[in-house]
Amino acid sequence: MPLMPKRVKHRKVSKGSRKGFATSGEKLAYGEFGIKALGRGWVTNTQIEACRVAINRHMKRKGKLWVRIFPDKPVTKKPIEVRMGSGKGNPEFWVAVVLPGKVLFEVGGIPESLARACLRLADTKLGIRTQLVSR
Amino acid sequence: MNQITLNAAVRTEQGSKAAGRLRRAGKIPGVIKRMSGESTLIELDTHAYEMTMRGHHGDQILVCIDLDGTKVSALLRELQHDVISGQVIHADFGEVDMGHAVRVEIAINLVGIPDGVKNANGVLEQELRAIHVDCLPTDIVESFDIDVSALKVGDKLLASQLNLGDKYHVTTHKDTVVAAVVAADEEIEVAAPAPAAEPEVIGAKKDAAAPAAAADAKK
C-alpha cells in the first residue's frame, strides 16, 4: 500500500506554494541524528518509501527510524497522447512539500558512523540537497 | 559550575530591520527580562559569544552579563537559531535572584549500555531530553547523568524514578517516560505495489465519487 492519506477533503489540489523556510519540524525531536533539507521541492511517496527501506536494511535491526514527513498532496497527470483541455488529469502519486530546514528522517540507538552511512543512502534517493544534523 | 561572564551593550534600536543590521555587523541581538518586569535590549558580540559558550551544552545556563560595567546575574532562557546555518540569531536572558529558587530545564544525559541492548538486541529510546526542576541558580548544572545500564527490553525509566538529590525538586509529571528499551523494529518486506487505491473523499457522496473517478479514467 503506497504512503498516502486515508481520507482527503479534495481529490485534486492546486500546485501550491513552496516559498519560505520550514517553521515546524526543523529540529531533531526523536533521534540523535537526522537529515535536514537544504533545498525545496516535492518528495514523492515512493522516494520516502525507498529511503525508509534503505535505512532499515542498513541498520540491520539495531536502531530506530523516524520519518518526519508525510506525502499528503496529490499530484495529477494527463495520460500520454491526450490533447490539452478537457479538465485536470487523474491523481497519479502523492508528495510531501519540503521547505529548507525541514528534518526529513531521524535515526537513534546507533553509533554515528552507522547513522551517517544510513542517512547518506537516504540522501542519494532524494531529489533535494540535504545535510546531516546531530544533537 | 563556574559562572560564565558575557560582555554586552545596551541597544537602542529595535525591530527586525535593526536586528538584521546588527547581525550583519557581527552582533547578536538579545534581551534581558528583569525581575521588575521590564526588559533591557542588549547586543552581544557573535564571535565572543561563540568562544565563551564553546563546550557548554546546557539548555539553560547561568551567566553573568557585564552590561556596560553593571553586572547582572541572568539565566540563558532561550536561544533562537537560523533554520539553515544554525547560527544564533537571538538570545533571551532572564535576570535571577541568587537566593531564590528558579524553574529551569536541565538536559538528561543517559549513561551506560542497557542490559536489553547488550544482550537482547533492544533499542534504547530517550523519550525525554530535558527535565524541569526547581533549584537555586547556583545549583544549576548543564546535564544530569542518568544510569540506564539495568534496563531490560520492555523496561521504562520514569521521571519519578530519577534520583537527582535534595537540591532539585522535579516538576515534570512523575509518570513521564524518560527512557525505554524497546524491541528493534521488524523490517517490513515490501510487497509488489498494490493498485493505487484512492483515499476516501470527506463529504463526498459514495455514488457520486465513483462516476467522477470513472469519468477521469476515460479521459
Same domain, B54 and B112: no
- Cα angle, residue B12 at apex, residues B10 and B17 outer, rounded to 5°: 120
The answer as to whether B83 is a domain residue is yes
Q: Which H helix or E strand runs over B145?
A: strand B143-147
- Please check whether residues B20 and B89 belong to one and the same domain: yes
In a domain, B30, yes or no: yes
| Contact call for residues B45 and B5 (beta carbons, < 8 A) | no
The x, y and z cell numbers of residue B169, run together, are: 525538586
Chain B partners of A86 at a C-beta cutoff of 8 Å? 219
- Same domain? For B139 and B178 the reply is yes
Interchain contact, A11 vs B201, CB within 8 Å: yes
Q: Which of A2, A5, A64 is the closest to B196 by Cβ?
A: A2
ipTM score: 0.77
Residues 6+ apart with CB under 8 A from B57: B107, B142, B143
Residue pair B38/B95 in contact (Cβ under 8 Å)? The answer is no
Residues B24 and B90 in one domain: yes
The pLDDT of residue B187 is 59
**Which of A53, A56, A79 comes nearest B219 by C-beta?**
A79
Number of compact structural domains in chain B: 2
* A11, A13, A27, A28: best to mutate for the B interface, most B CBs within 10 A: A11
Last residue of a domain, one of B36, B65, B96: B96
Are the C-beta atoms of residues B169 and B135 closer than 8 Å to each other? yes
Same domain as B112, residue B88: no
Q: Is residue B199 part of a domain?
A: no
CATH code of the domain containing B91: 2.40.240.10
Three-class DSSP category at B49: helix
Query: B155 lies in which domain range?
Result: 103-183
Q: Which domains does chain A have, with CATH numbers?
A: 42-77+89-134 (3.90.1170.10)
pLDDT at residue A120, rounded to an integer: 95
Q: Do B15 and B87 reside in the same domain of the chain? A: yes
pLDDT value at A38 more than 90: yes
The pLDDT of residue B125: 85
Average pLDDT over residues A30-53: 94
Of the residues B43, B74, B96, the one at which a domain ends: B96
Q: Of B96, B124, B152, which residue constitutes the final position of a domain?
A: B96
Residues in chain A closer than 8 A to B213 (CB atoms):
11
Same domain? B71 vs B129: no
B31 belongs to a structural domain: yes
Residue B209 clears pLDDT 90, i.e. is over it: no
Of A2, A53, A62, the CB nearest to B193: A2
* Reported confidence tier of residue B4, pLDDT bands at 50, 70, 90: confident
The answer on B149 and B173 residing in a single domain is: yes
Which residue from B minimizes the CA distance to A25? B83
Specify whether B120 is located in the same domain as B142: yes
List chain A residues with CB under 8 Å of B200. Answer: 6-8
Read off the pLDDT of residues A83-123 as tens digits, 9 standing for 90 and up.
Answer: 999 899 999 999 999 999 999 999 988 899 999 999 999 99
Question: Which CATH number do you get for residue B110?
Answer: 2.170.120.20
pLDDT at B189 over 80: no
Residues whose CB is less than 8 angstroms from the CB of residue A82 and which lie 6 or more positions away in sequence, other chains included: B219
Chain B closest-CA separation from residue A7 CA (Å):
5
Q: Which of A126-135, B39-48, B188-197 has the lowest mean pLDDT?
A: B188-197
- The answer to whether B199 contacts A9, with C-beta atoms less than 8 Å apart, is no
* pLDDT for B190 beyond 70: no
B182: which chain A residues are within 8 Å (Cβ-Cβ)? 64
Q: Is residue B167 part of a domain?
A: yes
pLDDT classification of B1: cutoffs 50, 70, 90:
low
What is each CA distance from B148 to B27, B176, B178, in whole angstroms? 41, 16, 10
Together in a domain, B88 and B107? no
Using the predicted structure, report yes or no on whether residue B129 has a pLDDT greater than 80.
yes
